[in-house]
Structure 1
């Protein structure tokens, strides 16, 4: 990826178009599961979402293989899609982007307050 694509997000646009084409080939219940996975996974993304691309690619690959084998979405993901997504992101203790921003804000405020205190 060159600098210009990274700045403009051209690489992400291309990846999402590819994901969209792959998702359209899935059965409806798999498409719905994909949309839920994406919605739950975005909380774990960085500012651009680039860190999620390999995770989403793997999850979509799992859905494609499972659909081709004739398995139902429930057999593959279970009843808890949000739990499945949390496991993909690194488990229950995985930090979300909100957690990272909160830590950065708290650190900045603490540093500023320590300068005021002496």
Structure 2
């Protein structure tokens, strides 16, 4: 990864953050909670940016249609997040697989 890639990544992140700040306050709060949840759970594809930008797209559509954020995702934010990443490997999954492989190789 070169310096140009790093600079471009920062520009994209700043643009993403600006989009989030353009959402109504209730949407921003839920987005931040989802972001914390994803960083804690650690879906492997989180760093490519598609998941978080897709959520902002979804939220912007909800705002445009006049819906509240909980009308879109339901009352359980964590359950909604789990549904988004249910088929995605997480870092916890990768760690568990590496331990299982080590045990099989060693024993």
After TM superposition, the score normalised by the length of structure 1 is 0.74
Residues 44 and 89, structure 1, Cα contact 8 Å, conserved in 2: no
Q: Which structure has the bigger radius of gyration? A: 1
Structure 1 residues 65, 73: closer, same or farther in 2, change over 3 A?
same
Figure out how many residues of one structure are paired with residues of the other and give that number: 106
Residues 26 and 64, structure 1, Cα contact 8 Å, conserved in 2: yes
Q: Shift in Å at residue 5 of structure 1?
A: 5.4
| Structure 1, gaps ≥5 residues long | none
Give the superposed CA RMSD: 2.4
2:99 maps to 1:105: yes
Structure 1 residues 15, 105: closer, same or farther in 2, change over 3 A?
farther
Moved more, 97-106 or 55-64: 97-106
Tell me the residue number matched to 1:54. Answer: 50
Distance 1:5 1:95 in 2: 29
Matches within 5 A, 1:18-97: 18-42=15-39, 43-46=41-44, 49-51=46-48, 53-90=49-86, 94-97=88-91
| Structure 2, gaps ≥5 residues long | none
